[in-house]
Structure 1
């Protein structure tokens, strides 16, 4: 019985996450996926970065990051920067337009999550908070 309950929790967590991603993709309407936003967010926080470092930090393969960065550069959301001391090293940097997209993506995501959690009562939200804190090892 316990194993079935754990499976049901995992299955329902995945369904909630997948539904949020689907709704976000429809709402965001920028021809970009969440992986693109994760790359831009990384650049926003860490500054110019080597693609291999970004791939490692985000758990992506280098070919995947190459594909994502091609689209970001093509759309003017990121730029390639050649290292002046070693021209073999190329960094990826975020543009102002890329920063604006990150803000919009986060705002849209926050609105979706707020709408999701507003369907719960205050008591249910407090219970979820305690559960997530426990799972994150913060209690």
Structure 2
């Protein structure tokens, strides 16, 4: 077996196990995997990326699926819709405390957390570097939006240890926001 086939087989098996864990996490709350994925994404994205269109694009599912998912999650009081302050046509999706708690308790699954906790810091850093490189390569091949952390974006200009300036939105943001997923992410050259 060559290295590409072996890598594919390992990632495919990990993905299958992860999807199974997501399915189990959802069953406990009467949710389907896509509902957990919506909540998980919203728990990790910034305020530019918490719209129904962004969720649809990130998950690669139809707008209809996202619309139905949002309605169900709203009825279960796991998220709420909020009109944008500047453009009332834009709707933002915010997790409720109940939604945040559900994701905090179930993602990432213990079966993934436990093995990773046994890795050394160097091993984790190396794994992250390799997976980032793989992800970026796949996104370039598929011509998909970056959806990555602001701290690695070409538009990020550090201002101080506590904040950075986003060249795209023309605003200063707290450094913690650099760890959130942004739809507008552009990889540094």
TM-score range, shorter chain: 0.5 to 0.7
Distance 1:128 1:46, change over 3 A: closer
Structure 1 residues 105 and 47: CA distance shift in structure 2, 3 A: farther
2:8 equivalent in structure 1: 10
Shift of 1:73: 0.9
Task: Flag the structure with larger Rg.
Answer: 1
Which blocks of at least 5 consecutive residues in structure 2 are unaligned? Answer: 134-189
85 and 40 in structure 1: CA distance in 2 versus 1, 3 angstrom threshold: same
Alpha-carbon deviation of 1:129?
A: 6.0
Cα distance in 1 for partners of 2:129, 2:10 equals 19
Match of 2:23 among 22, 25, 48: 25
What TM-score does the superposition give when structure 2 sets the normalisation length?
A: 0.52
Report the CA distance shift for 1:89/1:11 in structure 2 as closer, same or farther (over 3 A): same
Aligned twin of 2:75: 74
Provide the residue aligned with 2:46 in structure 1. 46
1:92, CA displacement in angstroms?
Answer: 2.5
Structure 1: gaps (5+ residues): none
| Higher share in helix | 1
Point out the more displaced range, 6-15 or 34-43.
34-43
More relative contact order in 1 or in 2 (CA 8 Å, sep 6+)? 1
* Structure richer in strand, relative to its length: 2
- Residue in structure 1 matched with residue 63 of structure 2 by the alignment: 62
Distance in 2 between residues matched to 1:21 and 1:91, nearest whole Å:
26
TM-score (normalizing by structure 1): 0.66
